[in-house]
Amino acid sequence: MHSHGAWVTALKRSSPFLLSAFLSGIVFGALAENAGLSVGNSLLMSAWVYSGAAQFVGLQLLITHADLAVVLLTTLLLSLRFFIYSMSLVDEVKAVPISYRALLAFGLIDQVFFLAKDRYKEPVSARAKHVFFLACVLIFYFNWLAGTALGIYVGDRMASHVAHLGFDFIATASFIAMLGPYLKQRRFLLVSLAALILYLPCQNLPYNLGLIVACLGAVTLVKLSGFSRERAVSGASA
Amino acid sequence: MSTVLLLAGMAGITYALRVCFWFGAGEGLPAWFKRTLHYVPVAVLTAIIVPAVLLKDGAFDLDIHNARLAGALATGFIVWRFKHLLAGIGGGLLVFVLWRWLSPLLMS
């Protein structure tokens, strides 16, 4: 497949998720404008930090003049999921040149991770997969910047409409649409159920840590149960 | 100026977490561990969706008036049955909005 085809595929597959990301960018831009952050700094935050969770919480901390250490530690905790994402993609990007890898890492957000991880499982050339990944990175990055810019421009009038009309549900729906296809496989269904059960007692942990704990716990649990099954099978054959 | 420095600090941290595993640290991971990482997307997606759909004030919200749940079920059904993501998201949004509007009127 030519790189042109990889771009078309990337556009097609990211299109269902672009609107919710764009709306979220609008809400961020509007909040930042409302909070008195300058236009330049608001755009800089989206361009540099590039993480919904870290930006929304970081904005609150900026407004309240929180300590530098608090802001940085909070950012660290909120960004732990990126750490898990990059760990999960280590093998897939091993063959990518290092400068190119540095660029891909910058664009690693939820949607891009799910799309890329999915694409790497498919039987197309390694090059086509890497170009697909890069295309997703760039598409979502400029989508986020454009959303932020529009949010700054239209201000909080627009942001309140987004919440009122239920557009915040679009993000949830887009994650459900991504999860759905996995659940047809029994082992993924087990992971999902484990994550659900583990999330409940951790839901009130600060900084989204419940998500991290539930994720690591679910993956570990299912892996351990798989180990014992493998051992039972090999024991029976021996 | 200090705001710019603060933003740079935040950016440095998010980027470091994204990139550190891709600069050598990932080489030493054992194979069984890497296979386990295929479970990550499912676990994260579940942990994002559960609070957005099923929970309210820390408890299960399995009420007939839970429009988020109705919309989520609609999205799940459309994606499962027709394999069309955009239709699933649009249909779920429609059900969510209608449900939120109509359920207090019809089933109070």
B41 found inside a domain: yes
For residue B42, the chain A residues in CB contact (below 8 A) are 179, 182-183, 188, 191-192, 195
Structural domain boundaries, residue B54: 30-106
* Mean pLDDT, residues A27-50 taken together: 92
In the predicted model, is pLDDT for residue B38 greater than 90? no
User: Average model confidence (pLDDT) for chain A?
Assistant: 87
* Mean pLDDT, residues B88-92 taken together: 92
B85 found inside a domain: yes
Q: Do A72 and B10 touch (CB under 8 A)?
A: yes
Per the structure block, which two tokens stand in for A222? 């299912």
Which of B5, B15, B18 is best to mutate for the A interface (most A CBs within 10 A)? Answer: B18
Q: Give the number of domains in chain B.
A: 1
A46 band by pLDDT with thresholds 50, 70 and 90 = very high
SS3 B55: strand
Distance CA(A135)–CA(A115), nearest Å, equals 11
CA distance to partner chain B, nearest, from residue A55 (Å)? 9
Complex-level ipTM beyond the 0.85 threshold:
yes
Distance in angstroms between the alpha carbons of the first and the last residue of chain B: 55
Distance in angstroms between the alpha carbons of the first and the last residue of chain A: 46
Give the pLDDT score at B97.
92
Per-residue pLDDT reduced to its tens digit, B3-26: 899 999 999 999 999 998 888 766
In the predicted model, is pLDDT for residue A237 greater than 50? no
Per-residue pLDDT reduced to its tens digit, A122-139: 999 999 999 999 999 999
B2 found inside a domain: no
Which segment of A93-97, B56-60, B84-88, B92-96 scores lowest on mean pLDDT? B56-60
Which segment of A53-57, A178-182, A229-233 scores lowest on mean pLDDT? A229-233
B47 found inside a domain: yes
